[in-house]
Structure 1
Amino acid sequence: MDITWAHKCWPRPRGDPQNLVRQYPDALIISGNPPVPLLRSRRRSSTALSRRKRTVGLDLGTSRVSVVIAESDDPTGPVSIMGVGETPADGLRKGVVVNLDKTIASIQAAAVAAERMAGQRIESVVVSLGGTHLWSQNSTGVVAVASGDREIGEDDVQRVVEASRAVSVASDRQVIHVIPRAYTVDGQDGVRDAIGMTGHRLEVETNIITGAQTAVQNVIKCVHGAGFDIEDVVCAGLAAGEGVLTPQELDLGVCVVDIGAGTTAVVVYNEGAARHLAVLPVGGNHVTSDIAIGLRTTLDEAESLKLNYGHTLPDVIDHGEKVEVRQVGGDRINALPRRFLAEIIGPRMKEIFQMAREEVRKSGFDGLLPAGVVVSGGGSRLMGTTDAAQLVFDTSVRLGQPTGVTGLADRAQGPSFAVSVGLVKWGMRHHSRDHVNGRQQATFGSTYQKTVRWLRDFF
């Protein structure tokens, strides 16, 4: 059997090729560290390949790294899940890379699992960006319409959006997204699609999301170090919204609260665009830590108790119900009231939702979100989460499950996959239209491209 080496940024694997062939007799061996075996994919017709677009989402979370491979022939339609891979994240804290080598290893492990399931090789990814260093600010831009007949074109829209980027940004920060909220044409405001309209003066209101340059560059280094190109870098909170929200919710107004392990992202949407983004420094790991301290048990035992018996509302737990807790430093097991466990969990979850509502107040949309709140992320899997959120927000709350997915949809179910599924949907929807149209532009922008080129030249 001939061995084909698909070179990326790693040298030829050190492993014995013949051992790899014996272990994976039907595999194409991809260069990597360690070597990556990839099952050969079935051939498709050139017509099918040209019609369908494949996108890979890479979610770099605090507790896990997940990869989703999907394809679609309609940028705004359902995506077909082809492969899913997950692995523990050892090199990230609060959504930020703290160990390059461990993060690279986690990315490679998750990618291998997804590649083997899909039977296809990953070339490039849409990667998530998390961390409390992310925040948003409002801006405006104005330009004169360039064409002689005064008809607004895509170039005019791009120029006015670029004009809105002229805001004061600290030297250690960079623009991640520029999201148009509404356009104004010759004083007529509230325009959502300005292309094709006639006017002399074009204005735009945008929401600009910035992040720490070092955090962004470390993510880029890890992805390239794992052997993949980058299609786009997307804030995890925006990806979660892309994954779980419906068009009707986006138009009416809705808040996404994506509870991760180390952080919680809060994104407020209205009239189809993100109006406010914030990342809170608390998440599901804080609940686990509270349980471990309160019950004097290990973090692993606390996580198991949280997921299997935890509840956010103590009052709904029967007083006589017990749970067995293994104590730290031995085999001693105590039977404790389950209500006590809920009394530990409840205050922390209430705190998270109170902090999230404060961000909604800052956005100016408190009480103006008819579609309510959608809670997603691994931290939302606790029983009673939506009820606890409803008590704080005083509005309708639902659990955010990935929408618009087919194929191996059962492999990417649940609120934990909100970001990874949202990343592939983002890649399908935004890249299909070159990042620019009359309704929304949300792109990493020229700053990202310069950073990518610099890193590639440097490494």
Structure 2
Amino acid sequence: MQLLAKRDIVVGIDIGSTKVVALVGEIKSEEAVSVIGFGECTSSGLRKGNIVDIDNVAKAIEEAVAKAEQMSGTEIEYAYVGITGSNIASLNNKGVVAVASGDNEISERDVDRVIQASKVISIPPDRKIIHVLPREFIVDGYNGIMDPVGMAGSRLEVEAHIVTGASTTIQNLLKTVERSGIKVAQLVLSSLASSQAVLLPAEKELGAVLVDIGGGTTEIAIYDQGSLCFTSVLPMGGDYITSDIAVGLRTPIANAEQIKKEAGCVLSELVSEADTIEVCGVSGRDTRVVSKKELAKIIEPRAQEILQIVKREIQRSGYKGLLPGGVVLTGGTALLDGMVEMTGEVLELPVRAGVPDQIGGVSDIVKNTAYSTGVGLLLYGSNNESCQRSDEKDSSFNHMFDKVKHWFRDFF
């Protein structure tokens, strides 16, 4: 199997409660990436975003990666891996430093120092920082600055959004991925990745909320003035609906999941009594006919409950009245008929379905709300790789410039 140059490809692995998705992307430019490999495998080793069976998840990762390798013709060594779960927490914090240079010109080193200063927060010893995401920089009291490098000032501040996770959860995730033979390039908050794939720059600037309803979790990410300002992970998702269907129709969980995907609707008013489905019993042998309206009446209250809790989280964030960009709904559960309409009714905001379409290659495979996180991991990784390349070029240029400067100094 051919191994492409390390910087030519990027790999994302989305480890969900019901499936593992591996995507291979080829970096075309700083802003373009094409999907060249895709692999998916069902998994049952997660509960509410937390790993409960390392071997099960590791095997699912191996199988998904093998499929992606076969399709792309490349060997996967490193991957950007999504992380989620009810253990995720976030807060906003400020860092302040004095500009170090004598001429008061702000350098990359000053930016690194102020970001490090924003990390000085009191968090329990059993938690680790996953992301420090600058929201804005403030130079001598002037705010709203996104890149202060090269500006003149004596005091540099940063407003940062800090995401933390439980140390044990992070360790278990790293151990599981490495057991599958893959090295972790970086852990990425799943809702941050999904935002990369489905939120438009204009929505982030206006103020918008991403709601990603997966199998075991529902993730919320709120953007204001172009930056992430609030994140939350709820320990509930489409699996709750599946469980209700299994109990209500007295059918196995696997069959309930299939029924949900094929015939599920969250608004009973949209379904006719005449529409029916066949449901097998717990034994798997006897079947009976059930109306789709009866199915919708089972799904509807649970979907409303999830969205009501999402609404409370948005209110808790303090940004409820600052979201003219509305709601972007994504994740596998967003595919249910009527979900967009119900979300609009409950959250009292304009809603659209978020489908990842900012990517090339065999993108038809992943143009689905269920793959938003996987595509977002590719985009995040591609941007990160491009930034590293740019930093290396700058470092190389500066080194060459220093050599020329010393040569002139020695010559004259």
Structures share fold, TM-score greater than 0.5:
yes
Q: How does 1:155-170 map to 2 (within 5 A)?
A: 155-170=109-124
Instruction: Work out the CA distance in 2 between the residues paired with 1:208 and 1:375.
Output: 23
2:223 to 259, 269, 276: 269
| Secondary structure in 2 matching 1:262 | coil
Instruction: Work out the CA distance in 1 between the residues paired with 2:269 and 2:147.
Output: 50
1:235 Cα deviation from its structure 2 partner: 0.9
Residue of structure 2 equivalent to 1:310: 264
1:63 to 6, 9, 18: 18
Deviation per residue, 1:99-136 (Å, 9 max, x gap)? 22222111111110000000110010000111100011
Residue of structure 1 equivalent to 2:139: 185
Residue of structure 1 equivalent to 2:46: 92
Does residue 1:335 correspond to 2:289, yes or no?
Answer: yes
Q: How does 1:74-223 map to 2 (within 5 A)?
A: 74-75=29-30, 77-223=31-177
Figure out how many residues of one structure are paired with residues of the other and give that number: 391
| Secondary structure in 1 matching 2:387 | coil
Select between 187-196 and 161-170 the one with higher mean Cα deviation. 187-196
Residue of structure 2 equivalent to 1:285: 239
Decide whether aligned partners of structure 1 residues 335 and 90 sit closer, same or farther in structure 2, where only a CA change above 3 A counts: closer
Residue of structure 2 equivalent to 1:441: none
- Aligned 8 A contact 2:25 2:35 in 1: yes
Residue of structure 1 equivalent to 2:370: 416
Does residue 1:393 correspond to 2:347, yes or no?
Answer: yes
| Secondary structure in 2 matching 1:319 | coil
1:166 Cα deviation from its structure 2 partner: 0.5
1:269 Cα deviation from its structure 2 partner: 0.9
Instruction: Work out the CA distance in 1 between the residues paired with 2:312 and 2:106.
Output: 39
Residue of structure 1 equivalent to 2:205: 251
Select between 327-336 and 66-75 the one with higher mean Cα deviation. 327-336
Residue of structure 1 equivalent to 2:9: 54
| Secondary structure in 2 matching 1:257 | strand
- Aligned 8 A contact 1:310 1:341 in 2: yes
Percent identity, please: 40
1:435 Cα deviation from its structure 2 partner: 11
1:168 Cα deviation from its structure 2 partner: 0.6
- Aligned 8 A contact 1:154 1:436 in 2: no
- Aligned 8 A contact 2:49 2:235 in 1: no
- Aligned 8 A contact 1:53 1:428 in 2: no
Instruction: Work out the CA distance in 2 between the residues paired with 1:124 and 1:63.
Output: 23
Question: Which blocks of at least 5 consecutive residues in structure 1 are unaligned?
Answer: 1-39, 438-459
Question: Which blocks of at least 5 consecutive residues in structure 2 are unaligned?
Answer: 392-412
| Secondary structure in 2 matching 1:432 | helix
1:436 Cα deviation from its structure 2 partner: 11
Normalising by structure 2, we get a TM-score of 0.91
Normalising by structure 1, we get a TM-score of 0.82
Decide whether aligned partners of structure 1 residues 239 and 165 sit closer, same or farther in structure 2, where only a CA change above 3 A counts: same
Instruction: Work out the CA distance in 1 between the residues paired with 2:346 and 2:169.
Output: 32
- Aligned 8 A contact 1:90 1:106 in 2: no
1:360 to 311, 314, 338: 314
Letter in 1 for 2:29: D
Q: How does 1:423-434 map to 2 (within 5 A)?
A: 423-434=377-388
| Secondary structure in 2 matching 1:73 | strand
Instruction: Work out the CA distance in 1 between the residues paired with 2:293 and 2:28.
Output: 50
Instruction: Work out the CA distance in 1 between the residues paired with 2:110 and 2:135.
Output: 16
Instruction: Work out the CA distance in 1 between the residues paired with 2:328 and 2:390.
Output: 27
Letter in 2 for 1:136: S
1:92 Cα deviation from its structure 2 partner: 1.8
